[in-house]
Amino acid sequence: MKRGMLLNSEISYVISKLGHTDTLTIGDCGLPVPDGVQRIDLAVVKGLPEFMPVLQAILEEQEIEKVILAEEIKSANPVLLHEILSFIERTGVKEGKTIDVEYVPHEEFKKKTRDSKAVVRTGEYKAYANIILVSSVTF
């Protein structure tokens, strides 16, 4: 559910339509977007925009209760994983709640994107810079 002042109208529109447990995916430049799922392509060149600023901007708007990450991020990209988890924890503390974190194999992650209302494509090119945000409610 929408709560902030995100400038990107497509992302803002998608967030405004999300209901409880609907999902929104943020992906790196290599994550495949399934047929039938809205693609919001922010990628300009390799590395722009990076994953974390996009995640941070979206979480200023979207109320979440859980995130889903690929299991492989633990070994392939521990630095980004630490950044994500730290930010998610701070977001939860600010909201006075705990945000659950689920890990699934990358192939299963890609299958789960089929149920997302949209996939936001960043220019990120670091391994496994992908996340599924599970919407909560604002009440």
Catalytic annotation present for 82: no
Burial class (CB in 10 A: 0-12, 13-18, 19+), 82: exposed
Q: What is the pLDDT of residues 106-116, one digit of tens each?
A: 999 999 999 99
Query: Quick one: average pLDDT of 103-126?
Result: 98
Q: Does 128 appear as a known binding residue?
A: yes
Which pLDDT value is given to residue 75?
A: 98
Q: Does 130 appear as a known binding residue?
A: yes
Query: Quick one: average pLDDT of 87-115?
Result: 92
Which pLDDT value is given to residue 3?
A: 54
**17-135: CATH, from 3.40.50.150, 3.90.550.10, 3.40.30.10, 3.40.1650.10:** 3.40.1650.10
Q: Which of 4, 16, 17, 20 is catalytic?
A: 20
Q: Using 50, 70 and 90 to split pLDDT, how confident is the model at 2?
A: very low
H-run or E-run covering 40: strand 38-41
- pLDDT mean across residues, the chain: 94
Question: How wide is the angle at C-alpha 11 spanned by C-alphas 50 and 19, nearest 5°?
Answer: 125
Q: Where are the alpha helices (DSSP H) in 18-134?
A: 51-59, 73-76, 78-95, 106-112
Q: What is the pLDDT of residues 28-59, one digit of tens each?
A: 999 999 999 999 999 999 999 999 999 999 99
